[in-house]
Amino acid sequence: MPTDFWMSRARAASRSADGFTVAVAGAGGVIGSHLIPHLARNIEIATLVLIDVDDYETKNLASQDALPSDVGRPKALVQAERARRIRGSLEVIPIAADVESLPLGWLRTDLVLTCLDSRRSRQHVNLVTRRLGVPWLDAGVLGDQLLVRLDLFRPDRDTACLECRWSDTDYAALEQRYPCDPQTSIAAPSGSPSGLGALAAALQAIECGKQLAAEGSRLMSGEQVVLDATGQNLWRTKYLPHPACRIGSHGPWTTETLDDDPATLTLGRVFERARQALDARDGGVGAQLDRGQLGRAELDRAHLDRPHRDPALRLSVEPQRFATEWLCEGCGSLQRDLRILSRTPARDLPCPVCSSTLHPLGLRIEDELHESRLSPAQLDLTLEAIGMVSGDVLSVAFPSAPDDVLHFELTAHAPQTASGGPRLCPWGREDRRPTDKIEAMTDTAAPDVADRTGQGGSPHAA
């Protein structure tokens, strides 16, 4: 399995001579487990990226396409082995991790399919696919009403995204994730029968083929189809973009590559590179302004462009958050350590005083890092030490000019494990780290639930 998959293949985001690359989040659940065999048989697909964070449990056997021998094993790995048994030439990359913890670049594929049981996770995929410019086909079921839903979203500036249709009720229903347990959020189970998940999977697989081939009567961006398996009714609705949508611009980001190894590239060096690039945009005026080298007339003109330019920069790694202080549950001591929250399992950060577990302080969790607030020691930290990996997209801007943003995607090769396999999920739980022949990772469990876990409104309104 190539270690630079997301650089050479997924990064292309266009059809190659070998075929398409498709990512599936929720690959082992009520919909996903029925979907994978269909995708494996689609010869237009050359590479499958399967994401699922859960292991199979005995209770899953009633509704998900799994065997008793699969219980206790990572869902994505089970489905990856199954896909490769169907078509040996298919490249399959299983990822055993929460889709919300993954670098944006790992979803830079030709099409993202989701079968998620979490409204929060779908909100995340909505944001990521918009940023990357990747189309997204979402499927969901509502078990007690036997409803199946398909939604298509394309990252065009003038088309609706998932959140364009959300109301305050939808945002209030988002699953909560707490700093003391960043790996877990609770989503309502779908309670769907196996046949309903299989029906949703078949419809999603057919629509996937039409979208990749750009042929036939396929869904357009912002369209939703709801099928009532009880009364055999079908509703097809077109949603319009909301002018006050939370995510702002619906168009994709323009990103530059940063081919430095996260194990050696420091945070301070990233700020330096970004400052040079931002200065180049305004022809060097910014640097002269910061150093006080402009004359009166030039100064007045410069301030028209940057009226309150702050020489310090801010950096974010959307949608990740940074924890800066940690509290020991044993001795109560406070420890300073800059880490990406979702990628810092407790086992990796024991208290240096008593070796007990450290928990992040909620008041010390930041969405972005401000250069002026970081100590020299923190600026000397490598990106890898903070938790950044290849595929992460770093956004850097001046606080006084938040719309003038640079986006850098880390594209260096992934580090290797001792066994030589790709170390794709260094922050995964120890008991989830795959030891099987296929070396990689996994993602979500059950499928999407139509209205209860993400799509507001009745099927008639939809």
Closest listed residue to residue 42, CA positions, set 90, 78, 104:
90
Note the pLDDT tens digit of each residue in 81-108.
999 999 999 999 999 999 999 999 999 9
Tell me the CA distances in angstroms from 77 to 15, 81, 195, 207, one per residue in order. 26, 6, 23, 25
Do residues 443 and 113 make contact, with C-beta atoms less than 8 angstroms apart? no
Mean pLDDT score of the chain, rounded to an integer? 81
Q: What is the pLDDT of residue 446?
A: 32
Q: Is 306 exposed, middle or buried (0-12, 13-18, 19+ CB in 10 A)?
A: middle
- Residue 460 is predicted with a pLDDT of 29
- The mean pLDDT value for 410-417 works out to 58
Which among 461, 412, 437, 432 is positioned nearest to 51, based on CA atoms? 432
List the chain domain ranges: 5-238, 255-410
Query: What is the value of pTM for the model shown?
Result: 0.81
Q: Is the pLDDT of residue 136 over 90?
A: yes
φ/ψ (deg, to 5) at 376: -55, -35
What pLDDT, in 10s, does the model give residues 188-227? 566 789 999 999 999 999 999 999 998 878 999 999 999 9
pLDDT > 90: what percent of the chain?
A: 62
Q: Which residues have C-beta within 8 Å of that of residue 361, sequence separation ≥ 6?
A: 179, 323, 325, 326, 327, 334
Give yes or no for a contact between 124 and 81, defined as CB atoms under 8 angstroms apart. no
Highest CATH level, class, for 5-238 = alpha beta
pLDDT band at 177 (very low <50, low <70, confident <90, very high): confident
What pLDDT is recorded for position 453? 35
